Amino acid sequence: MQKMTRGEKIFLVFNYVILSLVALLCLFPLIHVLAISFSAKSAVAAGVVRLWPVDFTLASYKYVSNRPEFSRSLLISIKRVFLGLLVNMFLTIITAYPLSKEDKQFHSRTIIVWVFVFTMLFGGGLIPWYMTIRATGLLDTIWALIIPGAVPVYNVVLLLNFFRSLPKELEEAALIDGASQWDILWKIYVPLSLPALATLTLFTAVGHWNSWFDGLILMNRPENYPLQSYLQTIIVQQTNVAGSFLQSEDWRILAVISDRTIKAAQIFLGALPILVIYPFLQRYFMKGIVLGSLKE
Amino acid sequence: MLSKNLRKQIPFYLMVLPAMILVFIYSYIPMIGIKIAFQRFIPAKGLFGPQEWIGLGNFTYILSLPDTFKVLRNTVFIAGMKIVGGLIVPLIFALLLNEIRREWFKRSAQTIIYLPYFLSWVIFAGILIDVLSPSEGIVNGFLRLIGAKSVYFLGDPKWFPYTMVLTDLWKNFGFSTIIYLAALTNISPTLYEAAAIDGANRWQQTWYVTLPGIRPIIVLLATLSLGNVLNAGFEQIFNLYSPQVYETGDIIDTLVYRIGLIQAQYGLATAIGLFKSIVSFIFISLSYYLAYRFADYRIF
């Protein structure tokens, strides 16, 4: 270890301070909103809630969990994540595999890859896209959220590149043993690609959980909204929160909650699954980036 | 009778077939649907129904609107600032993090700054609307505390574009920071040792070893980000803007949404969308070409 000069020591201290501040600044707003969601409305209105709940209460959460719209849209979101994962991952795998072959093995390979890649470069735009989905009769069904995006082209390209990095001898040996391409894919390539597949699965799941715009425009009836679309109407468009206050039967809850605490609770609940899995699957979250950018 | 070679390829064709069909329907049919831009489109008659062709009518109408250029300017301004900020800020933080020797600190900092990237814009907008509120928000509470005036970050047209750039940076800078960091850890330690033996101090090591070491990745990110010149961030702006900031905050994507899906002027909206698609296509292709030329990047 080389000796540090005075300037370097000062820099190091400065560095720790700056980085700590930035990291805390990233977290503070989240914690602040979380604190609001657990606080009573009087304390929130008085502006005394900072990073810790004041007059702790679960009333906002009780109120939210009693709303049928919330649980209904939550269920739709869960269904969407699982269906979406199944469809996306299956298609990604069976599409990436043949496209990872050399041209001499699969003649149309390069042309077909370009057919897919072209969709990343150019698109029809919002209206033709919407009209197509409407014409195929998917509006107001859960399939509208799954089928139009069933082929995640970017993931196909990532996995295709990953497959290409695996040794060719594996396939040759299996072919000599009489294995079919289908077997080679599922019994050799997939087991060898589990870390990459885990990362893609994670990003796909997060993507489905977080999508809100497609739900908003492809569902005409609000009862078909997934959670994030529902939250968008509540938190951003600010509809139907105040009105439903009056219908609520429990006056004790109404005494301690406000629009703001309810919104805070819903923001937190909408982010909860991500916040829960994030620390545990951090490794895969990190890898997702590197998988895409540092390929050889 | 098929040749043996061709028969061996049948499994490959079967495997790509489902994805080909889906991509054809949901990506290529919409491309054909661009024809709407040249029609007086009536949705009830269907996407491929008998519509009235009006040539470039939609385009000349758009060009006659005073808002068109304002929206284009807003889009390029916001997207441009995001591109520049999104390249520089993560680089600075990656360099700072790279100087940290305490693994736990480095790891925690990375984890925290990367977290907002995974929250949806709905959630993040909800948080921003709360903390940036001029009357009740904690940010303005702090500003008043230090004697400054409240700022209406989301409602003042002067502030709105900068609020968009800063909050977008805040949500997304962790992503590129980690890309840079990954590249930084790939620099061989022997280079630093050699530089130290030659008498280089830490600043000189950063300048002569670190930065040249990650130059390829800087070039790569810079070229690839070119494709975003017209992507000012629909999901963010849609959730945070309001009519009082249209002056500086309305962008192409939000305009297409309002004209198309709210006012149901499909032909007009498609024409604006087509303009964006074509310009983006040129820039994305250019960015891939430059990335290929200067950073040896290949899509596949």
Instruction: Give the residue from chain B lying closest to A46, CA to CA.
Output: B136
Q: Which helix (H) or strand (E) holds B134?
A: none
Q: Which range has the worst mean pLDDT, A75-79, A198-202, B295-299?
A: B295-299
What is the rounded distance in angstroms from the CA atom of residue A239 to the CA atom of residue A232? 9
Q: How far is CA A256 from the centre of its chain?
A: 33
Nearest to A2 among B31, B115, B196 (CB): B196
Check pLDDT > 70 for residue B178. Answer: yes
Which residues have a Cβ under 8 Å from the Cβ of B37 and sit 6 or more positions away? Answer: B58, B59, B267, B270, B271, B273, B274
Residue type present at position B173: F
DSSP B150: P
Q: Taking residues A14-37, report their average pLDDT.
A: 94
Number of domains in chain A: 1
Would A19 be classed as within a structural domain?
no
pLDDT band (50, 70, 90) for residue B44: confident
Domain with B130 in it: 59-295
CATH number for the domain harbouring residue B203: 1.10.3720.10
What is the rounded distance in angstroms from the CA atom of residue B80 to the CA atom of residue B165? 9
CATH number for the domain harbouring residue A79: 1.10.3720.10
Provide, as residue numbers in chain B, all residues whose Cβ is less than 8 Å from the Cβ of A214: none
Q: Taking residues B200-213, report their average pLDDT.
A: 89
pLDDT tens for each residue of B155-167: 999 999 999 999 9
Three-state DSSP state, B47: coil
Q: Taking residues A219-241, report their average pLDDT.
A: 87
The pLDDT score that the predictor gives to residue B6 is 83
Q: How far is CA A272 from the centre of its chain?
A: 12
First to last CA, chain B: 34
Q: Do A263 and B99 touch (CB under 8 A)?
A: no
Check pLDDT > 50 for residue B200. Answer: yes
Q: What is the largest CA-CA distance in chain A?
A: 76
Would A55 be classed as within a structural domain?
no
Q: Are strands B39-40 and B52-53 parallel, antiparallel or unpaired?
A: antiparallel
pLDDT band (50, 70, 90) for residue A239: low
Would B38 be classed as within a structural domain?
no
CB-CB neighbours of B280 under 10 Å: 19
Check pLDDT > 90 for residue B285. Answer: yes
What is the rounded distance in angstroms from the CA atom of residue A287 to the CA atom of residue A291? 6
Can you list the alpha helix ranges (DSSP code H) found in B99-240?
A: 103-114, 121-131, 138-145, 160-185, 189-197, 202-205, 211-225, 234-240
Portion 38-97 of A in contact with B at CB < 8 A: 44-45, 47, 50, 91, 94-95, 97
pLDDT band (50, 70, 90) for residue A295: very low
The pLDDT score that the predictor gives to residue A47 is 86
pLDDT band (50, 70, 90) for residue A296: very low
Q: Which helix (H) or strand (E) holds B66?
A: none
Would A2 be classed as within a structural domain?
no
Would A29 be classed as within a structural domain?
no
pLDDT band (50, 70, 90) for residue A244: low
pTM beyond 0.80: the answer is: yes
The pLDDT score that the predictor gives to residue B120 is 96
In angstroms, what separates the C-alpha of A248 from chain B's closest C-alpha?
24
What is the rounded distance in angstroms from the CA atom of residue A23 to the CA atom of residue B173? 12
Check pLDDT > 90 for residue A136. Answer: yes
The pLDDT score that the predictor gives to residue B299 is 81
Q: Do A18 and B96 touch (CB under 8 A)?
A: yes
CB B220 within 8 A of CB B297: yes
Would B84 be classed as within a structural domain?
yes
Instruction: Give the residue from chain A lying closest to B94, CA to CA.
Output: A19
Provide, as residue numbers in chain B, all residues whose Cβ is less than 8 Å from the Cβ of A94: 15-16, 18-19
Q: What is the ipTM of this complex?
A: 0.91
The pLDDT score that the predictor gives to residue A240 is 52
Q: Taking residues A26-53, report their average pLDDT.
A: 92
In angstroms, what separates the C-alpha of B196 from chain A's closest C-alpha?
8
What integer best gives the mean pLDDT of chain A? 90
Number of domains in chain B: 1
Where do we find the tokens 């290409």? A164
Would A253 be classed as within a structural domain?
yes
CB-CB neighbours of B63 under 10 Å: 10
pLDDT tens for each residue of B241-253: 999 999 999 999 9
Provide, as residue numbers in chain A, all residues whose Cβ is less than 8 Å from the Cβ of B269: 125-127
Q: Which two tokens stand for residue A246?
A: 């009056």
Q: Which of B48, B100, B122 to mutate to test the interface with A (most CBs of A within 10 A)?
A: B122
The pLDDT score that the predictor gives to residue A246 is 46
In angstroms, what separates the C-alpha of B94 from chain A's closest C-alpha?
10
Instruction: Give the residue from chain B lying closest to A121, CA to CA.
Output: B281
Provide, as residue numbers in chain B, all residues whose Cβ is less than 8 Å from the Cβ of A99: 16, 300
pLDDT tens for each residue of B100-144: 989 999 999 999 999 999 999 999 999 999 999 998 899 999 999
pLDDT tens for each residue of A196-221: 999 999 999 999 999 999 999 999 99
The pLDDT score that the predictor gives to residue A243 is 47
A197 closest CA partner among A237, A229, A163: A163
Domain with A148 in it: 61-296
Q: Do A125 and B281 touch (CB under 8 A)?
A: no
Q: Do B269 and A107 touch (CB under 8 A)?
A: no
Q: Which range has the worst mean pLDDT, A259-268, A283-292, B16-25, B173-182?
A: A283-292
Provide, as residue numbers in chain B, all residues whose Cβ is less than 8 Å from the Cβ of A91: 18-19, 22
Which residues have a Cβ under 8 Å from the Cβ of B46 and sit 6 or more positions away? Answer: A135
Question: In percent, how much of chain A has pLDDT > 70?
Answer: 91
What is the rounded distance in angstroms from the CA atom of residue B75 to the CA atom of residue A225? 29
Check pLDDT > 60 for residue A245. Answer: no
Q: Do A270 and B122 touch (CB under 8 A)?
A: yes
Q: Which two tokens stand for residue A43?
A: 């304390």
Would A136 be classed as within a structural domain?
yes
Q: Do A290 and B178 touch (CB under 8 A)?
A: yes
Residue type present at position A68: P
In angstroms, what separates the C-alpha of B66 from chain A's closest C-alpha?
23
The pLDDT score that the predictor gives to residue A242 is 46
Portion 219-248 of A in contact with B at CB < 8 A: 228, 231-232, 235-236
Check pLDDT > 60 for residue A149. Answer: yes
Provide, as residue numbers in chain A, all residues whose Cβ is less than 8 Å from the Cβ of B258: none
pLDDT tens for each residue of A153-164: 999 999 999 999
* Interface size, chain A vs chain B, as Cβ–Cβ contacts under 8 Å: 275
Check pLDDT > 80 for residue B81. Answer: yes
pLDDT band (50, 70, 90) for residue A293: low
Would B127 be classed as within a structural domain?
yes
Would B16 be classed as within a structural domain?
no
A218 closest CA partner among A150, A120, A136, A153: A136
Q: Do B29 and A128 touch (CB under 8 A)?
A: yes
Instruction: Give the residue from chain A lying closest to B282, CA to CA.
Output: A121
What integer best gives the mean pLDDT of chain B? 93
What is the rounded distance in angstroms from the CA atom of residue A244 to the CA atom of residue A262? 12
- Interface residue A2 vs chain B (CB under 8 A): yes
pLDDT band (50, 70, 90) for residue A287: confident
Check pLDDT > 90 for residue A249. Answer: no
- Interface residue A132 vs chain B (CB under 8 A): yes
Would B268 be classed as within a structural domain?
yes
State the Cα angle at A203 between A199 and A207, rounded to 5°: 170
pLDDT tens for each residue of B208-240: 999 999 998 899 899 989 999 999 999 999 999
Question: In percent, how much of chain B has pLDDT > 90?
Answer: 79
Check pLDDT > 50 for residue B24. Answer: yes
Q: Per residue, what are the HEC states of chain A?
A: CCCCCHHHHHHHHHHHHHHHHHHHHHHHHHHHHHHHHCCCHHHHHHCCCCCCCCCCCCHHHHHHHHCHHHHHHHHHHHHHHHHHHHHHHHHHHHHHHHHCCCCCCCCCHHHHHHHHHHHHHCCCCHHHHHHHHHHCCCCCCHHHHCCCCCCCHHHHHHHHHHHHCCCCHHHHHHHHCCCCHHHHHHHHHHHHCHHHHHHHHHHHHHHHHHCCHHHHHHCCCHHHCCHHHHHHHHHHCCCCCHHHHCCCCCHHHHHHCCHHHHHHHHHHHHHHHHHHHHHHCHHHHHHHHHHHHCCC
Would B118 be classed as within a structural domain?
yes
pLDDT band (50, 70, 90) for residue B26: very high
CB B12 within 8 A of CB A111: no
Provide, as residue numbers in chain A, all residues whose Cβ is less than 8 Å from the Cβ of B216: none
Check pLDDT > 70 for residue A3. Answer: no
pLDDT band (50, 70, 90) for residue B13: very high
The pLDDT score that the predictor gives to residue B32 is 95
